[in-house]
Structure 1
Amino acid sequence: MAGDQQLSLLLDSAVRFPLPNGLRFSYGTSGFRSDGSVLASTVHRSGIVAALRSLKTRSTAGLVITASHNPVCDNGVKIADPDGSMMDQSWEPFANAIANAPDPNSLAQLVLQFAKDEKIPLGGAQSAEVLLARDTRPTGEALLEAAKQGISSIIGAVAIDMGVLTTPELHWMVRNWNKGTRATESDYFAQISKSFRSLMELAPNENLNLNAVEKKLIVDGANGVGGAKLEEIKKNIIGLEIDVRNTGKEGEGLLNEGCGADFVQKEKFAPSGFCSDDLGIRCASLDGDADRLVFFRLIPNTNNKIELVDGDKILSLFAIFIQEQLSLLEELPARLGVIQTAYANGAATDYLRNLGLEVIFTPTGVKYLHEKALEYDIGLYFEANGHGTVLFSKEFLSQLELVNSELTSKMPGSEKQRAASRLVAVTQLINQAVGDALSGLFLVEAILHNKGWSFQKWCDLYQDLPSRQLKVKVADRTAIETADAETRVVKPSALQELIDTETAKYTHGRCFVRPSGTEDVVRIYAEAATQDSADSLANSVAQHVNSILGSDIKA
C-alpha cells in the first residue's frame, strides 16, 4: 500500500516539472548548473535526491540553489551531506540519471529501484529532513518551490526553508544541525565574531598598534548575498574597519558583472566601485555566493590594475600560522597536510615544501581536495580561485581541547598556552564544512594581525611564476585521459612525450593538459620563468593537441 502511495506521489509531482526538450544535465563539483529558466525539473528532482539522502543517512541533508560566480541569468543546485560537505560522490550517477529521466514514469521507477538497491525505507515511520537555502538570483524563488515539491514527493520528507543564505552558511547549518548544536544564522554570525575577537586578543602586544591603513579593509561583495551578510557580521567586529561595496543594492550593479572574486582573479583588475582613492588599502573580493575569496591592492598609475593575493597565498598564510603554533606544542603531535591541484602556482608549491610541509595533489575539483584533506589530523586545501578551508580531525580536536585545558590550568599566559588557544580559535573561526569566504576573510585578518604583517609582507612570501591558460575546442574531450592528479596524459599515448619535449625547452617550465569537466574542450596550463616563455609553451602544446585531435584553439 505504501509503495502505491509513493509511486502516486512521485508521478503527480513529476508531471508538474517536465524535462526540457533536448537538454542533458550533469552533476559536477558544483552540482547542476544551467540557465535558470530551464532548471525547474532538475531542482525538483534534486529535492527528491536530497530527501533520499536524508533517509539513507538517517540525518538531515541540505540543498542550496545557487550558481556561485556565474552570470545572474544562470542558476544551479547542489546537495549537502549530513556532515556539511558535498554530496557523496557515489550518489552522483543516480543524481545524473534522475535529472535526465525522460518522463514521470521513468523517474518514478528509477527512484523506487534505487531505494530498493540502497535499502532506503520508503513509506515507513522514518522521516526525512532537508534544509533549503538560495542566493539572490531572480530565478531562485521559483526554483526553491520546485525543490520543496520534490522533497514532499517522498513520503515523510520535510523541507525547512532557511531563507536567503550564502552557500557556506547552508553547509555550516547542516553540519551543526546534525551535531545537535545551535545552527541559526545568528549563531553563525556570533561564532565568527566571537572566535575572531578571541584570535585578535591573542596577538602579541607589540602588534596592537597597527596604523589606520592596516586596520581598514575594503570588501567587494560581488553584488551577491555575501555583501549583505558581511554588513551584519561587521556590526560585532572590533579592531577592524570594514567598508563593504557591491552589496547588491539597487544601482550598484549586477551579480558577478565586473566584480567578484572570479573576475578579480582572472582579469587582474579592480572590481567596479573601486578607484584611485583606494590606493594603499587592503581589499578583498567575494564571489556571488561567498564561497570564494581573494585579496588585492590597487597598483598606482595603472588604470585599476591590481596586485593579487589568490588562494595559493591564502593557503600559505594559513599553513605558516598553524605550523608555527604546532611547533610550540610538542605535546600535540599532528600530521599536517597541504592539498593542491595542478593549477596551483609552482612557486607556491615550492614555497610550502621548503617549509617542510607535506604537499599532495588531487584532480581538479573541491570534492577531491576535501576528501584528501580528511586523511590528515589537519588538512588544508585551497584552489588558486580562492575556494578552500582547513579541516581538523575529531581526534585532533579532542587532543587540542585537552592540551589547551591543561596549559590554561598550569601555565596560563605562557606562549605555549596562547599557541593552543590560538589553534582553538582557528578551529572555531574557519568553516570546516566547506570553503567559506566570510570565515576565511576574518581568519586572514586575524593571522595578519597576530603576525604583525603588512599586505606587502604577505605579497612578498614568494613571486608567482608567470602562467598561461588556453583551451582547445574538440569534438570529444574524453579522447584525452590523464593520471597522477591530471598532470600526465596517458591517452593519446604520444601526447605526453610531446608535452615533455616542449616543457624541457623552458626554465621552470611546467605544463599539463586535461579534459574539461563541463565543456567539450581540452584545457592547457603552462608555467615558465617569463610570461613570453609561458605563452610560447602553452601555444606549442595547444598546437600538438590540435594536430592530434583536430580542434580550434581558444584563449
Structure 2
Amino acid sequence: MDTSELKAASARYPKPPDLTPAYGTAGFRALADLLPSTVFRCGVLMVARSLKGGGNTGLVVTASHNPEADNGVKLVDPSGCMLEQAWESHADRLAAADTDEVVCAAVQELFRTEDIPYGTGVVMVAHDTRPSAAGLAAAAVAGVIALGGVAIPCGLLTTPQLHWMVRQANASAKHDEGAYFGALADGFATLVGRSPAPVQAVVVDCANGVGGAKLRALAERLGPQRLPLDVRNAGGAACSGGGLNDRCGAEHVQKERAVPIGCADIGVGGRCASLDGDADRIVFWTLADGGGMTLFDGDRIAALAALLVRDLLAALPADEHTPTVGVVQTAYANGASTAYLAGLGLAVVCTLTGVKHLHAAAEAFDAGIYFEANGHGTVLFGQRLVQRLHELPDDCEAARDLLALESMVNQAVGDALSGLLLVEAVLRQRGWGLAEWGALYTDLPSRQLKVRVRDRSVVRTTDAETRTVAPDGLQQAIDAAVQAAPGGRAFVRPSGTEDVVRVYAEADTQPAADALAAEVMRAVHDLAGRTGARP
C-alpha cells in the first residue's frame, strides 16, 4: 500500500502535541481549534469503512448541544446508523497518532486486520452552522481524497438528514433533501388526514442551529393549514441575542428547566418544543399556571409512540406471527415512565447510555421504540413487519398508518424534525392537548448533577451503568444514601465526552431527591476526586 500521498496530506493537519482524542458516545468533540487533525483522519477512516462495508459512509462536522466554540465529528456507517462499535477503537488509534508516519502505519494495520479490499470508497460530508464547521469539513474532504476516496460534499444538513441520506443512497433510493422532506411530510399527512382535532400552532426553539432553516423548509412543505409553526432561535439574522445553544435548545430546557431566550412572550399553556444544535434531539414544554415549566421529555415522547404503535398493531388482521414490540430506555428514564410502559403490556429494556446502545437493542423487536430522556430517539420497524404491512390490502387503515409512520420517523437515528411530527400526529389522532399527554403518569421527583473530575475513567460501571465497580467503596456509599432516602434510586456514570461524572437521583419528594443527589455527589467527590461541581 503506497501511503506517500496520505503522509503528505497528513502533514498539513498536524495533531496538537497535548491532544489525546477519545471517541465518546457519539464521536469526537473538543475546542474547534484543536480538531483539524482529528477530522482529517476521520475522513481517512470513513473511506476504509466504505470499502469494508461496500457502500457510502457519512461524516457530519458538529458538536451537537455543545457551546459554539466547540466542534466535533459524528460518523455514519453504510447502514445509515452510527459507526459500528467495533470500529471505534480504530478511530481512537488513528486520531491519537502522534506523527504522519504513525498515521500511515495505523492505516496499513487497519487494512490488514479488517481485510479491507483496495478500491474507491465514497464518503458523504456535511456540517452544521458553527463558524468552524466549513473549515473542518474541508479537512474531512482532504482526508477522504488522501486515501483515494470520493467525497460528496452535502453542505449544511442536520445530523439526522445525513444519516437518512446515507441509508437511502445505499438502498438505491432517492436520497436528496427534497426526498427527505417529502418522506416526512407525506407520512404526516397520512397519519393526520382523518383527524378531527383542531390544529394548534407549535412554537419551536431551534437553538440557533442548523434545525432552524431545515424546519422552515419542512414547514413550507407541510403547509400552515396542516401544522402551523412559529420558528424561534433559527440562527443568523433570526438570533434572539444568543448564539448556538446559548440559553436555548433542548439541552438547556431539559437540564435547566428554563425558558429559552427569545421565548419570553410565550403564554401559559403554549405548545412549545426545543431542538438541539444539530437537530437530533427534541423536547416539548409549556409554562404552567403559577409559574414554572412543565417538561415533556424523551420518556414522554416514548410513551406517545408506544401508544400509537401498540394500537395500530392491535388493529391489524390476525396473523400466525404476533409482532414483538419493545421500548428501550436507559437508567436516566424516570421510574414512573418505566412503570407506565410496562403497564401497557410492552417489553421494557434498559441499556447503556448512548444512542448506539439503544438503537441496537431496539432492532431486536419487530417494532422497537427508543428515546433517551434528553429527547434523542426514534421508532424502528423490522423488515419482517414492513413486508407484512405491504402485503395487506390497500383498505387496511392500520397497515397504511404504520407504513406512513415508518416513512415519517427516521429509521437510521434519532431525528428532531420527525420527532416533532410524531408527537403532533399522536396528539392530533387522539384529540389530546398537553394536559392529557401529561396525565399519562406523574414523574417521580429527580435531580441530576455533574461532578468535575481529573479523570473520568476512574469511575467504572456495570449493569447498564446502574452500579459502579470502581473506585472501591463508591457503590457502598451510594447504596447507603439510597437506603436512607424514601423511595430512593441513584446511580453515577462517567461522561462519554468530558471529564465529569454524572449523578442521577430519584425519591418520593423533590427535597429528598435533591438531598440524595447531593449525598451521592459528596461520595463521588471523596472517592473519585473533583475539580468542581455544578447542576
Do the structures match in fold with TM over 0.5?
yes
Indicate whether 1:31 and 2:20 are aligned.
no
Indicate whether 1:236 and 2:221 are aligned.
yes
Tell whether the 8 Å contact from 2:126 to 2:153 is kept in structure 1 after alignment: yes
Indicate whether 1:190 and 2:182 are aligned.
yes
Corresponding residue for 2:139? 146
The verdict on how the C-alpha distance between 1:224 and 1:548 changes in structure 2, with shifts beyond 3 A counting, is: closer
Matches for 1:133-532 after TM superposition, within 5 Å: 133-155=126-148, 157-203=149-195, 208-210=196-198, 214-237=199-222, 238-250=225-237, 252=239, 253-300=242-289, 302=291, 305-329=292-316, 330-331=318-319, 333-403=322-392, 406=393, 408=394, 412=395, 417-492=396-471, 494-532=473-511
Q: TM-score, normalised by structure 1?
A: 0.92
1:547 is displaced (CA, Å) by: 3.4
1:15 is displaced (CA, Å) by: 0.7
Matches for 1:1-40 after TM superposition, within 5 Å: 3-4=1-2, 7-40=3-36
Tell whether the 8 Å contact from 1:339 to 1:382 is kept in structure 2 after alignment: yes
Tell whether the 8 Å contact from 1:256 to 1:288 is kept in structure 2 after alignment: yes
Partner secondary structure for residue 450 of structure 2? strand
Corresponding residue for 1:120? 116
User: Mind listing any 5+ residue stretches in structure 2 that lack a counterpart?
Assistant: none
Tell whether the 8 Å contact from 1:381 to 1:390 is kept in structure 2 after alignment: yes
The verdict on how the C-alpha distance between 1:277 and 1:143 changes in structure 2, with shifts beyond 3 A counting, is: closer
Partner secondary structure for residue 326 of structure 1? helix
Partner secondary structure for residue 484 of structure 2? coil
1:36 is displaced (CA, Å) by: 1.1
The verdict on how the C-alpha distance between 1:272 and 1:471 changes in structure 2, with shifts beyond 3 A counting, is: closer
1:552 is displaced (CA, Å) by: 5.5
1:475 is displaced (CA, Å) by: 4.1
**What is the alpha-carbon distance in structure 2 between the residues aligned to residue 347 and residue 553 of structure 1?**
31
The verdict on how the C-alpha distance between 1:10 and 1:350 changes in structure 2, with shifts beyond 3 A counting, is: same
The residue type equivalent to 2:304 in the other structure is L
**What is the alpha-carbon distance in structure 2 between the residues aligned to residue 472 and residue 259 of structure 1?**
23
1:292 is displaced (CA, Å) by: 0.4
Q: TM-score, normalised by structure 2?
A: 0.95
**What is the alpha-carbon distance in structure 2 between the residues aligned to residue 219 and residue 119 of structure 1?**
47
**Which is worse superposed, 477-486 or 261-270?**
477-486
**What is the alpha-carbon distance in structure 1 between the residues aligned to residue 526 and residue 259 of structure 2?**
38
Tell whether the 8 Å contact from 1:470 to 1:553 is kept in structure 2 after alignment: no
**What is the alpha-carbon distance in structure 2 between the residues aligned to residue 217 and residue 461 of structure 1?**
21
**What is the alpha-carbon distance in structure 2 between the residues aligned to residue 248 and residue 440 of structure 1?**
21
Please give the per-residue CA displacement for 1:26-78, whole angstroms capped at 9, x wherever unaligned.
11122111111121111100000011100111111011111111111111112
Please give the per-residue CA displacement for 1:339-379, whole angstroms capped at 9, x wherever unaligned.
11101111111111111111111111111111111111111
**What is the alpha-carbon distance in structure 1 between the residues aligned to residue 526 and residue 243 of structure 2?**
41
**What is the alpha-carbon distance in structure 2 between the residues aligned to residue 188 and residue 18 of structure 1?**
37
Please provide the CA RMSD for this pair. 1.6
**What is the alpha-carbon distance in structure 2 between the residues aligned to residue 13 and residue 201 of structure 1?**
54
Tell whether the 8 Å contact from 2:16 to 2:34 is kept in structure 1 after alignment: yes
Partner secondary structure for residue 237 of structure 2? coil
1:496 is displaced (CA, Å) by: 2.5
Please give the per-residue CA displacement for 1:144-169, whole angstroms capped at 9, x wherever unaligned.
111111000112x1000111000000
1:550 is displaced (CA, Å) by: 4.3
Percent pairwise identity = 47
The verdict on how the C-alpha distance between 1:526 and 1:441 changes in structure 2, with shifts beyond 3 A counting, is: same
**What is the alpha-carbon distance in structure 2 between the residues aligned to residue 316 and residue 356 of structure 1?**
12
**Which is worse superposed, 452-461 or 464-473?**
464-473
Partner secondary structure for residue 119 of structure 1? coil
Tell whether the 8 Å contact from 1:542 to 1:553 is kept in structure 2 after alignment: no
**What is the alpha-carbon distance in structure 2 between the residues aligned to residue 229 and residue 54 of structure 1?**
27
**What is the alpha-carbon distance in structure 2 between the residues aligned to residue 286 and residue 43 of structure 1?**
25
Tell whether the 8 Å contact from 1:202 to 1:422 is kept in structure 2 after alignment: no
Partner secondary structure for residue 138 of structure 1? coil
The residue type equivalent to 2:59 in the other structure is L
**Which is worse superposed, 480-489 or 130-139?**
480-489
Match of 1:46 among 42, 46, 49: 42
The verdict on how the C-alpha distance between 1:77 and 1:550 changes in structure 2, with shifts beyond 3 A counting, is: closer
Tell whether the 8 Å contact from 1:310 to 1:385 is kept in structure 2 after alignment: yes
Tell whether the 8 Å contact from 1:513 to 1:523 is kept in structure 2 after alignment: yes
Alignment length (residue pairs): 528
The residue type equivalent to 1:544 in the other structure is A
Partner secondary structure for residue 504 of structure 1? helix
Tell whether the 8 Å contact from 1:276 to 1:300 is kept in structure 2 after alignment: no
1:553 is displaced (CA, Å) by: 5.8
**What is the alpha-carbon distance in structure 2 between the residues aligned to residue 268 and residue 374 of structure 1?**
32
The residue type equivalent to 1:363 in the other structure is L
Tell whether the 8 Å contact from 1:72 to 1:254 is kept in structure 2 after alignment: yes
1:476 is displaced (CA, Å) by: 4.0
Please give the per-residue CA displacement for 1:239-283, whole angstroms capped at 9, x wherever unaligned.
221111111132513111111111111111221111345433211
Tell whether the 8 Å contact from 1:72 to 1:255 is kept in structure 2 after alignment: yes
